[in-house]
Amino acid sequence: MTNQEIQSKILQLREFLNSCNYKYYVLSQPDISDYEYDLKMAELQKLEDENPEFADPNSPTQRVGSDTNIEFEQVTHKYPMLSLGNTYSEAELRDFDARIRRLTDKPFVYDCELKFDGTSISLTYDHGQLVRAATRGDGVKGDDVTANVRTIKSIPLTLNKDTQYPDLFEIRGEILMPHDSFERLNAERLEIGEPPLANCRNAAAGALKTQNSAAVAKRGLDCYLYYLMMDTMPTDSHFESMQMAKSWGFKVSEHIKRAENISEVLDFIEYWNHERENLPYDIDGIVIKIDSMSLRQQLGFTAKTPRWAIAYKFKAEEAASPLLSIDYQVGRTGVITPVANLEPVHLAGTVVRRATLHNADIIRSLDLHYGDTVFIEKGGEIIPKITRVDVSKRVAGAQPVKYIEKCPVCGATLVRNEGEAGSYCPNYQHCPPQITGKIIHFVTRKAMDINCGEATIELLYKQGLIHSPADLYDLTAPQMARLERFAEKSAKNFVESVRKSTQVPFARVLYALGIRHVGEQAAKNLVKHFHNLDNIINATIEQIAEVNDIGYVMAESIYQWFRNEENLSMVCRLQMAGLQFASNETEEDAAPVSDRLAGLNIIVTGSFATPQRRAELEKMVETNGGKLQSGVNAKTNFVVAGDKPGASKIAKAEKLGTKIISEAEFLAML
Ligand code: IVH
C-alpha cells in the first residue's frame, strides 16, 4: 500500500468504527457482531501502530485510555456554567410560570426534560472533532478532563460526517453511571476490601476525576447532552437544536417533551415520579426550560441562575418500617458491615427486608435506637439505605444502638483506624469468615481460576482440610472423593484445576493473595514495575508508592502484608507448590529503558542469534522510546538488519537512502 492508500484505509476504518459505536452506544441498535467490530478495531490498531504519522487522539482506538497519571489543567469556560433554581413544590412551579408570563405577552412553549443525577460536563467541538471536555468546577473555571472523557463510548470523538454541524460549538450534558456499572463497581470494591460508594452520582464524579484514563474506560460511564451553546444558534428552538445534535452523533434523551402550559408540565412530572423506577440510571427531578432561544435571551439571568429554566426535584421515594435487629457481617478483609433487618415493607416496586447501615458513624449520626421506626430510600443500589428515624414513634425507654466492640464471629476486639469510617476485625489469621473469604477470593476466576464454589471452600474448611490458600495444593483426589457431593471424577477435576492454576501469571497470583486495597489493575502495575516477588518484598513503602496509580495507603498495606510471618510462610508454600512469582518478561527486564530513540522510526529485519533475540531487539526499540515499523517508508530512520534480512525492505531502504545498521551498532546507540 502507498502512504496515501494507508491513510485512506485508516480514515475509512475510523469512520466505520465511529458509526458502529454511534449505533451501539447512542442509538442502542448495533448492526454488526462484537467479533466483527473487534476485527476491524484490531486492523485499525495495527495500521496505526505501523504508521504513527497518522495517529489521532480522536481515533476510536484511543477509547481504551492510558495508564499515565493525568494532572488536570484548569480551563476557563467560554460561557459560564450556571446551575438551576430548584423547587420541590407545585405552587412554586406555578409562580415560575406566572413570573414569565408577566415578563412576556408572546406565546411560548416549555421543554420538559429528565434531570440526570450525575456530574455536568461541557464539550467543545471544532470542525467536528472533540477538542476539550471540562467539568463545571466553580462555574467559571473547571478541570480539563478530555483524556478521561474520550473513553466514554457514547460521547462522539468525531461527528457524523454527512451532517451539517457548526464549525465551533459547545455542548453541555451530564455524565452518569448507570445502575449496572455502579453495582459492578461496588462489587469490585468489596472484593478488594474497600467500602462501597454511596450513590451513582458520587461514583460518576469520582470516576471522571480519576487520574488514569484506562481505569475510567472500565467504569461504564454514559453521557446525555442537553444544552447546545454557540454565538449564533442554528435554530431558535432548543428542542430542534437537540434533535440536530442527535443527528450529529450525540446521545440526547428521547424523553424530552414539549409542554404548552404548566398543567402539561405537571403531568410530565407526575408520570416520571413513578416511571423513574424503571430507568437504568438515576434522575433526581425534571428540568423545565423555555424552548425559544430569543425569549431565553430576553428573560436573561439572575446572579446565579437563568430565569428561563427551573428544576423540579423529586422527593426521594421512601417507606417506613420498624427495625427488628442488626446483623454485623464480616468481610474477607475483616471489614464489618452493619445491616438492618426490617419488618418487610414495599418500596419502589420491591419488598424490602434489609437495609445497609454502612458503618458506625452512620448509626451514630442517625441516633438509631433499638425498635425505632426508620425511613428507607433507594439509591442506585439494590439494598436500600436508612435515611432517618421517625422519632415520634420511639417507645419510651428505648436504648440507643450500641455498635459492637468485638467481632461477632471470633470475638476479637475490633479496630478502627483513624480517618476511616469503618471498623474491622484484626484477627485475620483465625477469624473463620476471613479465612474462608480469603480462600474464596483466591480461587475466583479473575484470580487463580480454580474450579470450585464457595460451598466447597466452606466444606473443606469445616472438615479441617484447609486453613490457607496454600492448603489447596496439598489436597489429593482420594481425599476430595471422600467429601459429600464429590465423586471420583469431580474430585479428579478439582485437583487437576488446582494443579493447572500453578501456571496462572504472577499478576493474578499477586491479586489472589488478597492484600487489602490491591485490585487487579494495581497487581498488574506492581508486576510491571517490580517484575518479581523478591523485588516487591524488598521495596520500601516509598518505592512501592512510586508505582503508577499506587498511593501511600495501598503501599503501606502491601509493605505490612509482607512483614507478617504467616503471610510469608504461606507465600513460601505457594512457591514450593510451583506458582508463578515472577513475570515471564525477564529478558525484557534486562533490556535498558530510556528515551534515546524517541522520535525515531525503526525496523528490525532478518534473523538473529535466537528467534527470541529479534523479539528482544524489537522490545528494546519500544522501551527506549522508538516507534517500531513493519515496512520501510519515507519516515523510517534506520533498519536494524540481522542475517538474511527481508530483501524488499533492504532494497527500499537503499532506494530511500535509509541507514542500515547491525545489532552491535544498534546496541551501541543505546
Ligand atoms: S440545563 C443553566 N438540563 O442539573 C443551566 N441541566 O442545577 C442549564 N442537569 O448543573 C442546565 N439534567 O448538571 C439541564 N436535562 C438537564 C439536566 C441538567 C441534569 C444538571 C446540570 C446542572 C444542574 C442544575
Distances from the Cα of 108 to the Cα of 97, 232, 292, 412, angstroms: 11, 21, 7, 69
Distance separating alpha carbons of residues 175 and 183, to the nearest angstrom: 17
Strand partners, 605: 641
The closest alpha carbon to 581, from 499, 510, 487, 654, belongs to 510
Residues 77-86 pLDDT 10s? 999 998 899 8
Q: Is 226 in the pocket of ligand 1 (CB under 6 A)?
A: yes
Distance separating alpha carbons of residues 286 and 223, to the nearest angstrom: 17
Distance separating alpha carbons of residues 53 and 36, to the nearest angstrom: 26
Other CB atoms within a 10 A radius of the CB of residue 285 amount to 24
Percentage above 90 pLDDT, the chain: 63
| Three state DSSP letters for 422-452 | CCECCCCCCCHHHHHHHHHHHHCCCCCCCCC
Question: Active-site residue 115, yes or no?
Answer: yes
Where residue 598 falls among pLDDT bands split at 50, 70, 90?
Answer: confident
* Strand (E) or helix (H) holding 622: helix 611-623
Q: Calculate the average pLDDT of the chain.
A: 90
pTM over 0.95: no
Residues 510-541 pLDDT 10s? 999 999 889 988 999 999 999 999 999 999 99
pLDDT value for 379: 61
Cα(85) to centroid of ligand 1, in Å? 10
Where residue 591 falls among pLDDT bands split at 50, 70, 90?
Answer: low
Answer yes or no: is pLDDT of 589 > 50: no
Rg for the chain, CA atoms, rounded? 30
Q: Is 311 in the pocket of ligand 1 (CB under 6 A)?
A: yes
Residues 6+ apart with CB under 8 A from 169: 124, 125, 228, 229, 230
Where residue 568 falls among pLDDT bands split at 50, 70, 90?
Answer: very high
Mean pLDDT along residues 558-576: 95
Distance separating alpha carbons of residues 58 and 23, to the nearest angstrom: 18
pLDDT value for 381: 54
Distance separating alpha carbons of residues 378 and 644, to the nearest angstrom: 69
pLDDT value for 592: 58
The residue whose CA is least distant from atom 22 of ligand 1 is 83
The closest alpha carbon to 290, from 303, 301, 282, belongs to 301
The residue whose CA is least distant from atom 2 of ligand 1 is 82
Catalytic residue among 40, 115, 385, 652: 115
Where residue 588 falls among pLDDT bands split at 50, 70, 90?
Answer: very low
Distance separating alpha carbons of residues 519 and 511, to the nearest angstrom: 6
Cell readout for 577 is 507448590
Q: Which of 81, 86, 111, 115 to mutate to test the pocket of ligand 1 (most atoms within 8 A of CB)?
A: 115
Amino acid at 595: D
301: left (phi over 0), alpha (psi -120 to 50) or beta: beta
Residues 158-201 pLDDT 10s? 999 999 999 999 999 999 999 999 989 988 887 787 777 777 88
Is the distance from CB of 371 to CB of 322 less than 8 angstroms?
A: yes
Strand partners, 321: 374
Mean pLDDT along residues 259-275: 95
Other CB atoms within a 10 A radius of the CB of residue 588 amount to 16
Distance separating alpha carbons of residues 241 and 228, to the nearest angstrom: 7
Cα(84) to centroid of ligand 1, in Å? 7
Where residue 585 falls among pLDDT bands split at 50, 70, 90?
Answer: low
Distance separating alpha carbons of residues 238 and 227, to the nearest angstrom: 8
Distance separating alpha carbons of residues 128 and 11, to the nearest angstrom: 14
What is the phi/psi pair of residue 500, to 5°? -60, -30
The closest alpha carbon to 198, from 214, 222, 182, 211, belongs to 182
pLDDT value for 587: 40
Q: Is 287 in the pocket of ligand 1 (CB under 6 A)?
A: yes
More confident residue, 340 or 28: 340
DSSP state string for 462-526: HTTS-SSGGGGGG--HHHHHTSTT--HHHHHHHHHHHHHGGGS-HHHHHHHTT-TT--HHHHHHH
419: left (phi over 0), alpha (psi -120 to 50) or beta: left
Q: Is 288 in the pocket of ligand 1 (CB under 6 A)?
A: no
Residues 74-124 pLDDT 10s? 999 999 998 899 898 999 999 999 999 999 999 999 999 999 999 999 999
Answer yes or no: is pLDDT of 586 > 50: no
Q: Is 20 in the pocket of ligand 1 (CB under 6 A)?
A: no
Is the distance from CB of 81 to CB of 172 less than 8 angstroms?
A: yes
Unique residue bearing C-alpha cell 451501539: 24
| Three state DSSP letters for 599-653 | CCEEEEECECCCHHHHHHHHHHHHHCCCEECCCCCCCCCEEEECECCCHHHHHHH
Residues 397-413 pLDDT 10s? 999 999 999 999 999 99
Write down all domains in the chain, each with its CATH number in brackets: 3-64 (1.10.287.610), 74-313 (3.30.470.30), 318-393 (2.40.50.140), 432-574 (1.10.150.20), 592-669 (3.40.50.10190)
Q: Which atom of ligand 1 is nearest to the CA of 227?
A: 1
Distance separating alpha carbons of residues 468 and 566, to the nearest angstrom: 10
Q: Is 225 in the pocket of ligand 1 (CB under 6 A)?
A: no
